[in-house]
Homo-oligomer: A and B are copies of this chain.
């Protein structure tokens, strides 16, 4: 009697040797990134104060595959390939004919997919003689990943952590410090940006926008000693994350399956793109017809209710202008617990795919995502982070739709991280203290009215 297999492992030799760069396969090129002053397309030199040239070149590369350096693959081996699991017990709980698979990125030492890009970012900076990296962190996943990556390559790491998170999440701060990073609550008195905020409001609890400004300032004024690192949104970040989808393709092949639907949550867009892009490629180049769904919070619906226009990447308005689905940089998302999805814009690659009708998007309210998380964890054991709980909620919707249609349908979703540092959110949910946030149309329109005129 052959037994039910629910986990599909790959040996370390099957860690991809190249990242997949979808720019080579897009039906039309990405809109150019514009200089905030001149509104003219920026060139590599404009980005050189902040990023190493290798990453700038990846940002605009049209090569389909970018080789993964051996030093990066060696570190990937600490947790990759990640498991592909068949959620057999969830299927039974839902009584659905759908087959549900999830790729589990929470096995990484940082607990999420973020380490997939933190490691190569640290590597390329190290290769170009940079001595350290500055960054911001809100929910803390990215700060954890970058501190680990810098530790592996002997780089200094400076993390500006949004003050309210710094205070409310002492264990997140602690794990970042454990890997040797210097964590500063933002706004701080260590930068002009921070001091100017504190002068106006000494009790400011900070924001991701302010923390970005501080991290960028520290790098830009370091005389080349430090550079800056971003954990999502940029093309090279999404490209690095394609190891997720590439592995999932091979693992599904072992399982003898191919997905009808691929689902990921989307804040900046990198974990969604990581699982999705290799399947988008199959749709574009091999005639596959997989539905690809980006799931965002109803409280921060950049794809489903934003507009596709040029906007700043940050809140303060210091970055280049990027064409993206945005709610406007003045949009302040409600304090939902999926902190990693509270971003007014979206990665350019994801937006272009959405605009071209190559992917779908859904917005799901907070309470539905926590209910879905609870159903998932009681079936499968793993406590998901609030962000991928959006992907779980969409998966459950699709599995129930398959049941209603009486069709098998194969669903793959990306479980991009565990929720071990998010138990306060579960506590709030279980005690009935969580609420849904919805925005009236006029509020969305007011935020969009403030977009820069390009």
0/1 string, A132-155, CB within 8 A of B gives 1 = 000000000000000010011000
* A357 contacts B by Cβ under 8 Å: no
Q: Which residues of B contact A383 (CB under 8 A)?
A: 109, 175, 178
Q: Which residues of B contact A180 (CB under 8 A)?
A: 378
* A377 contacts B by Cβ under 8 Å: yes
Stretch of A188-196, A206-214, A422-430 on the interface side? A422-430
Among A77, A170, A177, A381: residue with most chain B CB under 10 A: A381
B171 and A423: CB pair below 8 A?
Answer: yes
Question: How distant is the Cα of A394 from the Cα of B321 in the complex, in angstroms?
Answer: 55
B6 and A9: CB pair below 8 A?
Answer: no
0/1 string, A242-254, CB within 8 A of B gives 1 = 0000000000000
In the assembled complex, the CB of A98 is this many whole angstroms from the nearest CB of chain B, namely: 19
B171 and A424: CB pair below 8 A?
Answer: yes
Question: How distant is the Cα of A6 from the Cα of B11 in the complex, in angstroms?
Answer: 10
Q: Which residues of B contact A374 (CB under 8 A)?
A: 178
* A111 contacts B by Cβ under 8 Å: yes
User: Which residues A337-395 have CB closer than 8 A to chain B?
Assistant: 374, 377-378, 380-383
Q: Which residues of B contact A285 (CB under 8 A)?
A: none
B381 and A423: CB pair below 8 A?
Answer: no
User: Which residues A394-436 have CB closer than 8 A to chain B?
Assistant: 420-421, 423-424, 426-427, 430
B7 and A179: CB pair below 8 A?
Answer: no
In the assembled complex, the CB of A101 is this many whole angstroms from the nearest CB of chain B, namely: 14
* A286 contacts B by Cβ under 8 Å: no
The closest CB in chain B to the CB of A10 belongs to B9
Q: Which residues of B contact A420 (CB under 8 A)?
A: 111, 171, 175, 420-421
The closest CB in chain B to the CB of A428 belongs to B174
0/1 string, A55-90, CB within 8 A of B gives 1 = 000000000000000000010011100000000010
Q: Which residues of B contact A171 (CB under 8 A)?
A: 171, 420, 423-424, 427
* A12 contacts B by Cβ under 8 Å: yes
B77 and A6: CB pair below 8 A?
Answer: yes
The closest CB in chain B to the CB of A74 belongs to B4
Q: Which residues of B contact A177 (CB under 8 A)?
A: 427, 430
A107 and B107: CB pair below 8 A?
Answer: yes
With A107-B107, A426-B175, A427-B174 already in contact, the answer to whether A381 and B78 are too (CB < 8 A) is yes
With A9-B11, A420-B420 already in contact, the answer to whether A174 and B381 are too (CB < 8 A) is no
* A13 contacts B by Cβ under 8 Å: yes
Q: Which residues of B contact A78 (CB under 8 A)?
A: 6, 89, 380-382
Q: Which residues of B contact A426 (CB under 8 A)?
A: 174-175, 178
Q: Which residues of B contact A9 (CB under 8 A)?
A: 9, 11
* A5 contacts B by Cβ under 8 Å: yes
Question: How distant is the Cα of A314 from the Cα of B9 in the complex, in angstroms?
Answer: 43
Q: Which residues of B contact A174 (CB under 8 A)?
A: 423-424, 426-427, 430
In the assembled complex, the CB of A214 is this many whole angstroms from the nearest CB of chain B, namely: 23
Closest 3 CB pairs of A and B: A109-B381, A171-B423, A420-B420
Cβ contacts A to B, 19 pairs, < 8 Å: A3-B13, A4-B74, A4-B77, A6-B12, A7-B12, A78-B89, A108-B381, A109-B377, A148-B381, A170-B423, A170-B424, A170-B427, A171-B420, A178-B377, A178-B423, A178-B426, A179-B377, A179-B378, A420-B420
